[in-house]
Amino acid sequence: METSIQNLGPGQFVSPLRHSGGVEVKFRQENERVLFEHLTANLSTSDNPTSFELAGPREYLAFDPAKTTAAIVTCGGLCPGLNDIIRGIVTQCHTRYGVTRTYGFRYGYQGLIARYGFTPMVLRPESVAQIHNFGGSILGTSRGQQDIGEMVDLLEEMKVDIFFVVGGDGTLRGAAAISAECQKRGLRKAIVGIPKTIDNDIMFLDKSFGFETAFAMAVQSVRSAYIESTGSLNGIGLLKLMGRDSGFIACYAALAGSNVDFVLIPEVDFQLEGSGGLLEALHYRIAKRKGAVVVVAEGAGQHLMPASGSKDASGNIVYGDIGLFLRDKISASFASRRIPATVKYIDPSYIIRSVPANPQDNVYCSQLAQHAVHAAMAGKTSMLVGRWHGAFVHLPLEMVTNGRRKVDPQGELWNSVLESTGQPSRLY
């Protein structure tokens, strides 16, 4: 893996953090690294094992803070913690570095296209002081690709030196393209990404912000599904959670909420029919316990439904609704055997996405924002700030957008789910 971080050049300006009111700041050196493999048994025998650049303040900066202009954009679906990130960046820029010009582009990448007519917001510490108490993003967001050249034109017209891009896989690919266009034009701009995906599926990260809040909220829905399942004879609580390609929220919510009998995720195929299929296993569970709870990630079981053949604004294939599909199939299966059963279907996706970040995510967002500003001021570009093995690191955008993080069907997390639910390891 290529883990080196692009830099706009050697620092020419002394960091103002050196004189921050007598507080001693530990400046990071470029040779401080965090190993990719943290287990001794997995370390390479070579003298130079794969490692990531350690995040943190640098003593010399690539930009003169007094003359620097920063901008922020939030893209993709809503996620808990977006306002926390905005607040953290603005506060860090103004109070720690003295960067007084910070703009927020409205409605995602659309805000960088002049013809849409969205006027950028001027962001100051006083205007963002309380936004972390609210869900969503004060900047708004949108999905879909926009013209890279037009976006760079606006950045240059506004004399933006540092551009913070908050988003998931598609958004970060756009950030990499913006950085490449800036380099092609010879523009000296730092493009720094902050990972936002409620599915927790960005590669080489311990977790993405908002995930802790999301699965904590999902646990409440698990409890509701359980209560509904016990409220009637042969009650089945069916809960659909986020997770297009990765089932982390479904797994964690099931483990934390308990009382779940089946967890279905995109990484583990299952069948409906047959002696070992989901329906037969569900019939057995109902006969034994008179109730059951099924948690399914939105991307699970797509092989069971006809392909839509269409794509959304972000270029992703539109998936079939596995929740409604299972609701109808389960109801029909019990009806065909003349077994009275009630399926209570719950889809809390937008409720979960729109809540404010919980305290744990709030702290994580603040730290991500601080490290993003440190990196940008030092001239780091085409990179992502994230956490790996408990340490904040810099990751090249090209590396983290080459795949998606997934639940390992042979790993500890999925084994914990199987032990907690008691479901068969294979539903075929």
Report CA-CA distances (Å) from 346 to 78, 82, 230, 238: 20, 25, 15, 6
Rounded to 5, what percent of the chain is helix, strand, coil? 40, 20, 45
Closest CA to 337 of 253, 280, 420: 280
> Within 13 Å of residue 92, how many CA atoms lie on the same side as its CB?
25
Contact 151, 191 (CB under 8 A): no
Is residue 269 among the annotated active site residues?
no
Tokens 């926390």 label which residue? 84
∠ at Cα 120 (116, 125), nearest 5°? 160
Q: Please give the angle made by the CA atoms of 421, 426 and 428, to the nearest 5 degrees.
A: 125
Residue 159 identity (one-letter amino acid): K
Structure tokens at 187: 């523009």
Q: Which two tokens stand for residue 215?
A: 């699965």
The CA-based angle 143-137-84, given to 5 degrees, is 125
The 3-state DSSP class for residue 3 equals coil
Active-site entry in 161, 199, 245, 361: 199
Count the Cβ atoms, other than its own, within 10 Å of residue 127.
14
- Which segments within 23-94 are labelled E, that is strand? 33-35, 51-54, 60-61, 69-74
List, as one string, the DSSP characters of 183-200: HHHT---EEEEEEB-TT-
Residue 229, token pair as written in the block: 């399942």
Tokens of residue 116, six digits: 């849409």
Q: What amino acid is encoded at 272 in this protein?
A: L
Residues recorded for the chain: 428
| Element holding 14 (H helix, E strand) | strand 13-14
The residues assigned a catalytic role are 199
